[in-house]
């Protein structure tokens, strides 16, 4: 008994105890303040007028060249093959366009019920993400919300060995008719194949789209802004990729960790020697799709899909405009990644998209929707 009293007394007088108490109170106070800040910061995409928003000058990843020709393309392809050490791999079956196989299921008629589609949305999605696909169908891919604009979506999947999951995917396909499954294992390291399958699918089944929007399934995009602001301004653009451009010579080639690249690939490089896009939301003009797909028939596989699809392939093709869309890093935490593009004409065009936590999806969406209506 005496022992216990002494112990409690000891605890109450110990510096550590009071330190922990003070620390906890501070954290609760700070956390509460932080939280209420977040709640008070109205997420206003159209009316965001904070003075610290910087307007950026035009940034083109690559200057259009008029003397572009086949020779340049051949040289670049040779360079890419050298850098990606294609030499030991002498057969075409390794090229991504050759590895996507037949479709397990697909719907070739997604874009065929009207003559012109405004946006075909290509969603890179993981087999298990039924809810994310469902919320995309209900929101920015729901064409009836944007009439008279025509929006279509195709969700790209690979195969899975889980038979119950496969059965569910078939059922989903029969219900919504908007999923496409390729004959490759759905794996993080196979996303390049998924992307190339998307190029092929658009080329074959949706050539009548004004823009191709590639997104990941954990993204929300302001389709209202795209339809009402982006579309009318950008319809005349040619050979252009809109994205957050990661410029030539600025991005590390990681040799360890999640983005590990084997040492025999880009052997003498510390940085990627070409520009590429952060791939979570990328808009392409449709004139590029076939060329990108053809380039994927000859350019060696590289597993990081953003680098391959929006870096290696455009580099090999050449003469492509990158239009840079800046991340707004000053936005509140969960809305950090709203995107604005700056065009050569110094016009800023909103292409708001956010890479987000599932819990924030509906808040963002309703905000976008209400701003559209006001």
Ligand X SMILES: *[C@@H]1O[C@H](CO)[C@@H](O)[C@H](O)[C@H]1NC(C)=O
Residues in a beta bridge with 182: 103
The answer to whether 83 and 269 are in contact (CB under 8 A) is yes
Q: Which residues contact 284 (CB under 8 A, 6 or more apart)?
A: 211, 212, 213, 214, 240, 241, 242, 292
Verify binding: residue 336, ligand X, rule CB under 6 A. Answer: no
Verify binding: residue 144, ligand X, rule CB under 6 A. Answer: yes
Cα separation, 6 vs 26, in Å, equals: 28
Which CB sits closer to ligand X, 83 or 216? 83
The string of DSSP letters for 322-360 reads: EEEEEE-TTS-GGGTT-EEEE-TTS-EEE--EEE--GGG
**Which string of x and - marks every residue 249-288 that binds ligand X (by CB under 6 A)?**
x-----------------xx----xx--------------
Question: Which residue in 69, 128, 177, 250 binds ligand X (CB under 6 A)?
Answer: 177
In the chain, where do the E strands start and end? Answer: 103-105, 117-124, 151-159, 179-185, 209-216, 219-221, 240-246, 276-284, 321-327, 339-342, 348-350, 353-355
Shortest CB 328 distance to ligand X, Å: 5
Shortest CB 23 distance to ligand X, Å: 36
**Which string of x and - marks every residue 355-374 that binds ligand X (by CB under 6 A)?**
--------------------
Verify binding: residue 5, ligand X, rule CB under 6 A. Answer: no
The answer to whether 183 and 150 are in contact (CB under 8 A) is no
Shortest CB 358 distance to ligand X, Å: 17
Shortest CB 362 distance to ligand X, Å: 13
| Residue 318, phi-psi category: left (phi > 0), alpha (psi -120 to 50), beta (remainder) | left
Verify binding: residue 189, ligand X, rule CB under 6 A. Answer: yes
Which CB sits closer to ligand X, 27 or 42? 42
Give the side-chain half-sphere CA count within 13 A for 101. 16
Site for ligand X in 67-96 (CB under 6 A): 82-83, 91-93
Cα separation, 371 vs 328, in Å, equals: 19
Secondary element (H or E) of residue 241: strand 240-246
148 preceded by a cis bond (ω within 30 of 0): yes
Question: Which residue in 179, 340, 353, 367 binds ligand X (CB under 6 A)?
Answer: 340
Verify binding: residue 166, ligand X, rule CB under 6 A. Answer: no
Question: Which residue in 319, 334, 363, 372 binds ligand X (CB under 6 A)?
Answer: 319
Verify binding: residue 201, ligand X, rule CB under 6 A. Answer: no
Verify binding: residue 171, ligand X, rule CB under 6 A. Answer: no
Residues that bind ligand X (CB under 6 A): 45, 48, 53, 56-57, 62, 64, 82-83, 91-93, 97-98, 107, 109, 137-138, 142, 144-145, 174, 177, 184-185, 187, 189-190, 237-240, 248-249, 267-268, 273-274, 297, 315, 319, 321, 328, 338, 340, 348, 350
């Amino acid at each position: 008994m005496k022992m216990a009293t002494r112990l409690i007394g000891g605890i109450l007088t110990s510096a550590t105890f009071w330190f922990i108490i003070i620390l906890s109170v501070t954290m609760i106070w700070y956390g509460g303040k932080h939280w209420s800040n977040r709640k008070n910061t109205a997420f206003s995409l159209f009316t965001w007028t904070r003075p610290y928003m910087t307007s950026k000058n035009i940034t083109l990843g690559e200057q259009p060249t008029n003397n572009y020709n086949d020779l340049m393309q051949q040289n670049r392809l040779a360079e890419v093959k050298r850098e990606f050490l294609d030499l030991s791999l002498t057969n075409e079956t390794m090229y991504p366009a050759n590895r996507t196989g037949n479709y397990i299921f697909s719907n070739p008629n997604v874009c065929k019920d009207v003559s012109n589609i405004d946006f075909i949305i290509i969603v890179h999605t993981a087999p298990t993400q039924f809810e994310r696909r469902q919320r995309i169908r209900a929101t920015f891919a729901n064409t009836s919300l944007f009439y008279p604009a025509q929006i279509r979506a195709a969700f790209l999947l690979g195969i899975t060995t889980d038979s119950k999951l496969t059965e569910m995917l078939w059922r989903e396909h029969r219900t919504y008719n908007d999923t496409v499954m390729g004959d490759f294992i759905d794996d993080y390291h196979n996303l390049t194949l998924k992307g190339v399958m998307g190029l092929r699918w658009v080329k074959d089944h949706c050539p009548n789209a004004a823009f191709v929007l590639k997104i990941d399934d954990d993204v929300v995009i302001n389709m209202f802004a795209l339809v009402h602001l982006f579309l009318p301004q950008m319809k005349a653009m040619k050979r252009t990729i809109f994205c957050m451009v990661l410029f030539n010579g600025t991005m590390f080639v990681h040799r360890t960790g999640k983005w590990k690249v084997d040492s025999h690939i880009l052997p003498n490089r510390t940085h990627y020697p070409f520009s590429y896009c952060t791939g979570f939301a990328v808009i392409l003009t449709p004139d590029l799709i076939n060329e990108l797909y053809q380039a994927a028939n000859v350019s060696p596989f590289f597993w990081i899909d953003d680098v391959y699809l929006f870096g290696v392939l455009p580099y090999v093709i050449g003469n492509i405009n990158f239009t840079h869309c800046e991340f707004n890093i000053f936005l509140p935490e969960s809305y950090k990644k709203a995107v604005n593009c700056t065009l050569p004409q110094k016009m800023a065009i909103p292409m708001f998209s956010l890479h987000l936590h599932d819990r924030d999806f509906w808040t963002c969406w309703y905000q976008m929707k209400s701003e559209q209506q006001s």
